[in-house]
């Protein structure tokens, strides 16, 4: 699961273990939306900094910000 926040961070949660898995620091202002594609292999984030970012959601590899 991913969550957006006013502090410009995106948090990726491991629901199986019930804990925070990753914190992503790419937006410069509030992150207002995070959504996965239907296959779940990518997610998109958008924020008050007028940026839209596409992320690879396989965290077994390095995090890739396209």
pLDDT digits (tens, 9 = 90+) for 18-51: 999 999 998 999 999 999 999 989 999 999 999 9
Asked whether the whole model's pTM tops 0.85, one would answer: no
**Res 58: pLDDT:** 78
**Res 64: pLDDT:** 44
Helices (H) and strands (E) in the chain, counts: 0, 6
């Amino acid at each position: 699961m991913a969550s957006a926040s006013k502090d410009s961070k995106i948090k990726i949660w491991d629901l199986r273990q019930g804990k925070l898995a990753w914190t992503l620091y790419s937006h410069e202002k509030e992150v207002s939306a995070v959504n996965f594609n239907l296959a779940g292999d990518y997610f998109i984030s958008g924020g008050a900094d007028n940026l839209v970012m596409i992320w690879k959601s396989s965290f077994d590899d390095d995090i890739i910000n396209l």
